Chain A
Amino acid sequence: MVTLDRKLVRDLWRMRGHLTAVAVVACCGVAVFVTMQSAYDALVRARADYYDRFRFADVFATLTRAPVTLLPRLRAVSGVASVDDRIVQEVTLDVPDFTDPATALVVSVPDEGRPLLNDVFIRSGRYPEPDARDEVLVSESFAHAHGLRPGGTLAAVINGRWQSLRIAGIANSPEFVYVIGGAGVFPDDRRYGVVWMTRTALGSALDMRDGFNSVAIRLAPGADERSVIDGVDEILRPYGSPGAYGRDEQVSHAMLDGEIRQDRVTGIVVPAIFLAVAAFLVHNVLMRLIALQRGQIGVLKAFGYPDGRIAAHYLKLALAAVVAGAAAGVALGDWFGGGLAAMYQRFFHFPTLAFELSARNIALVVAIAVAAAVAGAWPALRRALALPPAEAMRSESPPTYRPLLLERLGLASLLTPVARMWLRALERRPLRAVAAILAVGFSCALLVVGQFGLDALEETVRLQFREARRDDVRVALREARGPSVEQDLAHLPGVTRVEAMRVTVANVRNGPRWKRVTVMGLRRDGELHRIVDARGAEIPVPANGAVLSASLARILRTHAGASVELDFLERRRRQVHVQVAAVVDEPIGLFVYLERDELSRLMGEGPGYTGAYLRVDHDRLGELYDRLKHLPAVSGVTLREATIRSFLATIAENIRISVTILIAFACTIAAGVVYNGARIALSEQATTLASLRVLGFTRGEVSAILLGEQAVLTAIGIPAGLLIGYALCGWLAHLLETDLYRLPLALEATTYGYAGATVVLAAVVSGLAVAWRVRHLDLVAVLKSRE
């Protein structure tokens, strides 16, 4: 070991406190990068592999029914590589030992061979036997939620007939990586699942032996999706198709895509914050070290050490800390990544989701960390190199201070001498102060952002599922029924209020812009489903005209008072113009709301309802469920509160884990910045502080003087951080916004309070750790020391 490296080792040991702070912050940044980047890679890889091996379709369409003789025409559409026709139907399930009615999407699979597209992956058991008509495959999430295994049974009401089913196997398909109910937004594994049944069995049950009501299409390489969709629509429209759609509107794919996008954003933004803070800390430490070792640098230069050697010497110090932190971060990221993969398995069902630490990611993040260290070190190194040896060996000229801006404004009397010390020190190095404020601010902002997901979710649930919706049960009917359905449902056990509604699908158009959306026909004086905006204000259902979701209005570039065209896609196609009565800002979905009978009229039909909201006497829920499970007219039942609760319980657990990690990480920044700042202040002000101790100041008083500067930085950093946090949340909301979902920028006051309090706590703890060192100030040496 050359002598200069011996010095390096000793400097490393002497500066271990400062450098540990750097290493820990770098570690967090690298860990987040490794976790999120590996999660991103894992999801992208698993998805590509799954879609490829199990032949996920590119275009989908549903219809009322069409004869299989139509298929050659579909295959002939230019750009179509293959077409798979199937039967798909939502049914009510009766699961043993489960009171609530559950809903399943039954999807047909060929009796022999495998589906041409959207093939099933069999987790356990086997494919149904061709002649065993009651054998089915059950989706893994649903089976898991109910403890169902191959060989077990469940029952379904298919086409109004109660039918017992035997479970041949547990399966997944690329179409249902994320399983979500037709009417739901949130997954509810206990109440919604997918069941695959042989084509012959389902065809007989639904009287659709030679027909189909759903197609999946794979595009030929280079084919234009839009033109294929147009071609397919032309063929299927007469058969009640509301229009084909691509993967971007396929729910499972869209949700998965959203998650992948989020991983990408988190994996870039969060590590960038941490590594910027690490660079800042490196900068502070090296600036101080080089100031302290000015004389040594002068001597080394005087003896002929080249600048490069000296720069490398100090750079190695920074790199040692950052690289050590990065190594720990890779290990930590690997561990977190395993946990995240396990969490993903609960929401996304892949045959395998392999979380791998790739050499590429490690190399990339280490390179970024090293770049951050070099960037942080550079100004300090440049300062060391610029020193002529003779000047370096002289002690640094004393720092110059000047009166504060506040004092120049004549407000000096507001400040005690100690407060002036703090503020003048900050004013003398404004860039360092701003950087420290930003670093503390970002730690606070991260806490706000971490909590934002939960706040946004709660706000969404509150607005759209608690304020707007007051029903206990939503019933979907197999087909539209006349007005008498309200009385029929009212007679069910425990039902205290019924509000029937009509739901349909339409292309809504404004000039060249159009969008396929759900049209909701609601009751005018309804209580169970109201239209409520982001501020919680109710917008009455208009007698004439439509209310549009704000996101939809934005897409169409329309506004209240304008007129849009509704192109109803169900059955008889019909185009009408309606006036936009109002635009409602709501977080989820693109909807057109109309008065329910007005909707029927516009569709050219008499009053008819496709479903109903029920308010129910909770004591009689069991009885009601039992009846609903067996009602032939009912195709699906959604329990609002139960779904929300089960979803929140699952997500809350996940959020708790990630929020805990985030708190720890954000505290690391705050603690690292305060600790580092205080250590450097202690080093810079040791003589002053020891002098004050000699003059009779107590340890407490001296500690207060020492930490005041950090306290001021923290006190400014926190409100700045809350603002940054709010802005970051807004940016994230914008970045992650889709047509279907928007994160409401509703941050709870408690979120700000908790973020601020956490940063204060982290700052206090690290401040006290430094204050402890005040004990070791050498009071005797100071009598002889020259600053």
Chain B
Amino acid sequence: MTNGPLPSAAPSAQAVFRLRGVSKTYRMGEVEVHALRGVDLDLYAGELVVLLGASGSGKSTLLNILGGLDTPTAGEVRYLDHDLANAPEELLTSFRREHVGFVFQFYNLIPSLTARENVSIVTDIAEHPMKPDAALALVDLGERLDHFPAQLSGGEQQRVAIARAIAKRPDVLLCDEPTGALDFATGKVVLDVLRHVNAELGTTIALITHNAAIGRMADRVIRISSGRIVAVEVNATRASPEDLAW
């Protein structure tokens, strides 16, 4: 564990995200909440990063800013040559559309669409998507294509959500507590899918969690507390999700 200049797992790799001095302040009634206080961070192509922190630490705010859902109060956010800090809403939308895949804690599938359709609704608006069936096969759901969300277990729903996120071949996959709503065994299955996606497709993955054990499967673990990055750990070897325990 080191402080100071941020270490990277693969210094030779290209930084896709570059954040400098990023602060975010919310006004909640009378109170000013400093969600992020001067964060500097680089994310590199192809790495799997876990953002670890307690609830209220600012990790979700950081993920929102990375995903173009929110803009910082101060500081610089660049995705390759895109300036995300000052982009208007339309550009942020097309940034999300072209480059980012999201996986939500509660899956957020469309209940009236089958697994396959939940994927194809996204591939319909993507430039060079996978076939929905292929994306679902990748998350090992090739058998349940025509099931509606209400007919799937939580783990299966989350895998559909991952298939939906990766089907458009995003450059970055942002996962917000993807195992938060799942039991231990199912959570590990989902994490294995993410690892598989990272390995097979080379998609950069940023995963936020408050579960420290998950950090072992990452290239890097970035610990966040009170709106600051307090530590960055580089794992020399990534643990397999199967070996994780919590």
Contact = CB atoms under 8 A, between A and B. Distances in A.
Given A401-B148, A694-B96, A780-B69, A688 B108 contact: yes
B148 A400 contact: yes
Contacts of A785: 106, 108
B106 A701 contact: no
Given A691-B108, A783-B60, A420 B70 contact: no
Given A398-B111, A401-B111, A693 B104 contact: no
A257 to B, nearest CB: 56
Interface stretch (B5-13, B73-81, B116-124, B214-222): B116-124
B108 A696 contact: no
Contact of A698 (B60, B69, B93, B146): B93
Given A401-B150, A417-B113, A697-B125, A783 B104 contact: yes
Interface residues of B, number: 40
B176 interface: yes
Contacts of A401: 111-112, 148, 150
Interface string B196-240: 000000000000000000000000000000000000000000000
A695 B117 contact: no
A400 B122 CA distance: 22
B152 to A, nearest CB: 10
B44 interface: no
A611 to B, nearest CB: 73
Nearest to B93: A698
Interface centre among A397, A420, A421, A694 (most CB of B within 10 A): A694
A695 B148 contact: no
Interface in B110-140: 110-114, 117-118, 120-122, 124-125
Interface residues of A, number: 35
A694 B146 CA distance: 24
B131 to A, nearest CB: 14
Nearest to A695: B122
Given A400-B148, A401-B148, A787 B124 contact: no
Given A400-B150, A401-B150, A424-B112, A696 B96 contact: yes
A695 B68 CA distance: 11
Contacts of B96: 694-696
A400 B111 CA distance: 7
Interface in A161-198: none
B104 A420 contact: no
B67 interface: yes
A695 to B, nearest CB: 6
Nearest to A427: B112
B186 interface: no
A402 B148 contact: yes
Interface in A771-787: 779-780, 782-787
A695 B94 CA distance: 10
B102 A421 contact: no
B69 A417 contact: no
Interface of A: 397-403, 416-418, 420-421, 424-425, 428, 687-688, 691-699, 701, 779-780, 782-787
Interface of B: 60, 63-64, 67, 69-70, 90, 93-94, 96-98, 100-102, 104-106, 108, 110-114, 117-118, 120-122, 124-125, 146, 148-151, 164-165, 176, 181
